[in-house]
Amino acid sequence: MLWNVTQESLSRTIFPLADLTKEEVREIGHKHGLKNAAKGESFEICFITDNNYERFLKHKMPALEKEVAGGEIVMNGEVIGEHQGFPFYTIGKRKGLGIAHPDPLYVTSIDYKENKVIVGHEKELYHAGLHASKLNLIKYDNLLSGKQLTVKIRYKDTDETGFVTQVDGSGNGEGRIKIEFEKPKRAITPGQSVVFYEGDDLVGGAIIDEVFN
């Protein structure tokens, strides 16, 4: 969550829990009889209590489904179905595609400009690297020489090793980077954040633009 906070903002930021661990905070809560002291962890969007994003979008934006429904589901350049609206699909989605096929199919990319959902086999979800923009660096002034770092492409992602190289621009929200993973990475999603670390230190992050092999 902190990757996009600038150095200027960080210099004015106060973290009220300071050096306390999560367990210590829970213990303090128990001592003071706070109801949330034993509340379970939240791994999804907190205000969508049932974790049903499709229901939430349809409720908040009733016209959305009509505006984007009826687009093509494409595999290897061939139309094999019709989707219910690209906002309701995510990279790596398998269930609920409404396609009859002898093999399991997954959403491999989404072309929102053409209103198309592209599907394929699971192996097509893996890519060697990514390009990202809106780079914000926390630990270093730049990564122009490149550095081997630990990379995550989503909140609950496993740590992966990648070589991160700044392509151009500054590290203050304007630069672009290229990341080459040590081994192919599954379900990289344009539009989401990619964040990189050095040990326990947050180095920086950016917004994923595209993938490459």
135 with 208, same domain: the answer is: yes
Task: Looking at the structure, tell me whether residues 88 and 139 fall in a common domain.
Answer: no
- Distance in angstroms (rounded) separating the CA atoms of residues 169 and 142: 9
User: Position 10: which residue type?
Assistant: L
pLDDT the model gives residue 69 = 82
Give dist(CA 191, CA 209) in Å, integer.
Answer: 6
Same domain, 109 and 147: no
- Range of the structural domain that residue 134 is part of: 125-212
Q: Which is it for the CA torsion 135, 137, 140, 146, positive or negative?
A: negative
Q: Please tell me whether residues 105 and 77 are part of one structural domain.
A: yes
- Which of 120, 136, 163 is at the close of a domain? 120
How confident is the model at residue 96, as a pLDDT? 87
CATH number at residue 87: 2.30.30.280
Residue 36: inside a domain, yes or no?
Answer: no
Same domain, 137 and 203: yes
Query: Which pair of structure tokens corresponds to residue 161?
Result: 């090793």
For residues 182, 186, 189, 194, the Cα torsion angle rounded to the nearest 10 degrees is -40
Do the domain assignments include residue 44? no
List the pLDDT tens digit at each of the 213 positions of the chain.
889 998 889 899 998 888 899 999 999 999 999 988 988 776 667 778 777 888 898 889 888 878 888 899 999 999 999 998 999 999 999 998 989 899 999 999 999 999 999 999 999 999 999 999 999 999 999 999 999 999 999 888 999 999 999 999 888 888 999 999 999 999 999 999 999 999 999 999 999 999 999
Indicate whether 159 and 190 sit together in one domain.
Answer: yes
Q: Which domain CATH number covers 183?
A: 2.40.30.10
Give a yes or no: residue 168 inside a domain: yes
Is residue 98 located within the same domain as residue 147? no
136 and 109 belong to one structural domain? no
Q: How many domains does the chain have?
A: 2
- Give domain status of residue 25, yes or no: no
Residue in the structure block whose two tokens are 């210099």:
11
Distance CA 51, CA 70 (A): 25
For residue 41, being part of any structural domain is answered with no
In this structure, the answer to whether residues 174 and 149 fall within a common structural domain is: yes
3 state SS of 147: strand
C-alpha closest to that of 205 among 158, 161, 145, 149: 149
Final residue of a structural domain among 96, 120, 144: 120
Taking the C-alpha atoms of 80, 84, 90 and 91 in order, what is their torsion angle to the nearest 10 degrees? Answer: 10
Residue 24 lies in a domain: no
